[in-house]
Amino acid sequence: MSGSITFSSVQSIRGSLMVIKTNGKLGYEELVEIELGNGEKRLGRSLQVSEDIAVVEVFEGTQGLSPRDVKVRFLGKPLELPVSNELLGRIFDGLGRPIDNMPEPVGSEELDINGKILNPYKREYPDEFIQTGVSVIDGMLSMVRGQKLPIFSGSGLPHDTLAAQIARQATIAKGEEFAVVFAAVGVPADTAMFFRRELEQSGALKRSVLFLNLAEDPAVERIVTPRVALTAAEYLAFEEGYHVLAILTDMTNYGEALREISMMREEVPSRRGYPGYLYTDLATIFERSGRISGRKGSLTQLPILSMPADDITHPIPDLTAYITEGQIVLGKELYHKGIYPPVNVLMSLSRLMKDGVGEGKTRADHKELSDQLYNSYSKAMDVRSLAEIVGEEGIPESSKKYLQFADAFEKKFMKQDPYENRDIDTTLNLAWEILSILPESEWTNISEKSKKVYMNVVQKRNI
């Protein structure tokens, strides 16, 4: 690495932060290289600079550092990633350094990992349907190219299986496969291995870039990993024209790393010890997605995060959902009933669905059907909890149909195999089939037209 070479000395070390003497030579958010007595080198970045000193976060941690025997060199630039399409097929660490025993890829340019602000005026509204082959997603939580749609999960739930299934099956138009950018943020090595294997088996590895910050890797580095990955993703999408699917897992680890640094800096905390700028900080990650007018590619984000104590009001899932364009929430209860994918549809939402489905995109009855399924399933949940209290005798005859409907919805419509790939017609016909359990007077969202055109499809099929 090049850059101005100024040496400095360390004043104090606390946690993963270091206060160094600078004589005003270090800029805000610029990199420093820290050389230990034994020749080992680490990277750091300034969080605050003044005329004489600076506070620096050390990505690899400060273990073994002693103020006396380290040398600090100013690199005179922020953290950058060299980018080119040589990134594809490669594996990097959480700071973007190759770990696949191959040479550093030749970058056509070096990009600041913070990215630049996309001009909202130059964005193109995302409205191209992605068929994932998963009924509950395609039918009720349709994804579009350029959307940011996280999976909210809990420990022991099959979020990885679902993300991998989406990555494997997601097709947009024929011959337009996704390039996958995968960022592991503090997850166990076997999770990273699982994704690698999945990508390899589906033949997608050569169209993938992996950035790995594993559980045993330094926590401070996690602040950087999603940004490094998204720098690669943005480049591939908007400069090289790929349709990119970025999987970031687990963003809860990211939030915790941010909290750790904030606490070491003694900042005023807001909720549960998380810094007041958590929303803004997460937004600078999740907003790095979308489509740009006049550019071929797109960047779709599928972040995964575990809800601490299954609590969706915890600041990390809460603020994430305030930024992303919906959320897919997985539920333990369904999973224990043996249903995969165990999607809690009522808590889930895809905000960009409305413009990605319907006539000319999926099918004219899609929107109405999806509204009706939500409406009826939510009523069915009320009936179900009532039946649990008063017993089935206590509910009116007409409501009993709702219990049947709820079962069919979960066991027929939602449930499918991780390797089962249903096309959108199959999904929608299945929806009509389960809806037919309910009398037509309950179909408040269905127009006469849809009834006429699509009901017979189902009836014919049933004969």
Ligand X SMILES: Nc1ncnc2c1ncn2[C@@H]1O[C@H](COP(=O)(O)OP(=O)(O)OP(=O)(O)O)[C@@H](O)[C@H]1O
33 binds other proteins (CB under 8 A): no
Residue 194 contacts which entry, other proteins, ligand X, none (Cβ below 5-8 A, type-dependent): none
- Looking at beta carbons, which residue is closest to ligand X? 351
What is residue 125's three-state secondary structure? coil
Residue 78 contacts which entry, ligand X, other proteins, none (Cβ below 5-8 A, type-dependent): other proteins
Residue list 259-288, contact with other proteins (CB under 8 A) = 267-271, 276-277, 279-280, 283-284, 287-288
Cβ distance to ligand X smaller for residue 196 or 379: 379
Cβ distance to ligand X smaller for residue 28 or 322: 322
From the CB of residue 327, how many other CB atoms can be counted at a distance below 10 Å?
Answer: 23
400 binds other proteins (CB under 8 A): no
Cβ distance to ligand X smaller for residue 32 or 349: 349
Cβ distance to ligand X smaller for residue 147 or 416: 147
Residue 406 contacts which entry, other proteins, ligand X, none (Cβ below 5-8 A, type-dependent): none
Tell the burial category of 240 from Cβ atoms under 10 Å away from its Cβ (0-12, 13-18, 19+). Answer: middle
Binding mask 174-213 for other proteins (x = CB under 8 A): ----------------------------------------
Count of chain residues binding other proteins (CB under 8 A): 82
Cβ distance to other proteins smaller for residue 53 or 210: 53
409 close to 428: Cβ distance less than 8 angstroms: no
What is residue 154's three-state secondary structure? coil
Among 94, 290, 331, 356, binds other proteins (CB under 8 A): 290
125 binds ligand X (CB under 6 A): no
412 binds ligand X (CB under 6 A): no
Q: Give φ, ψ of 140 to 5 degrees.
A: -125, -15
What is residue 343's three-state secondary structure? strand
Two tokens, residue 89: 């097929």
Residue list 109-138, contact with other proteins (CB under 8 A) = 112, 114-126
From the CB of residue 11, how many other CB atoms can be counted at a distance below 10 Å?
Answer: 13
Measured between its terminal Cα atoms, the distance across the chain in Å is 71
322 binds ligand X (CB under 6 A): yes
State the minimum distance, in angstroms, from the CB of residue 99 to other proteins.
Answer: 27
Residue 24 contacts which entry, ligand X, other proteins, none (Cβ below 5-8 A, type-dependent): other proteins
Residue list 318-377, contact with other proteins (CB under 8 A) = 318-319, 321-323, 325-327, 346-347, 349, 351-352, 354, 367, 371, 374-375
Positive or negative torsion for Cα 427, 377, 437, 418: positive
What is residue 110's three-state secondary structure? strand
Rounded to an integer, what distance in angstroms lies between the CA atom of residue 42 and that of residue 108? 25
Rounded to an integer, what distance in angstroms lies between the CA atom of residue 367 and that of residue 240? 34
Residue list 331-360, contact with ligand X (CB under 6 A) = 349, 351
Rounded to an integer, what distance in angstroms lies between the CA atom of residue 244 and that of residue 242? 6
Cα dihedral value 158, 159, 162, 164, nearest 10: -110
425 close to 129: Cβ distance less than 8 angstroms: no
Rounded to an integer, what distance in angstroms lies between the CA atom of residue 233 and that of residue 250? 17
State the minimum distance, in angstroms, from the CB of residue 457 to ligand X.
Answer: 26
Interface residue list for ligand X (CB under 6 A): 322, 349, 351
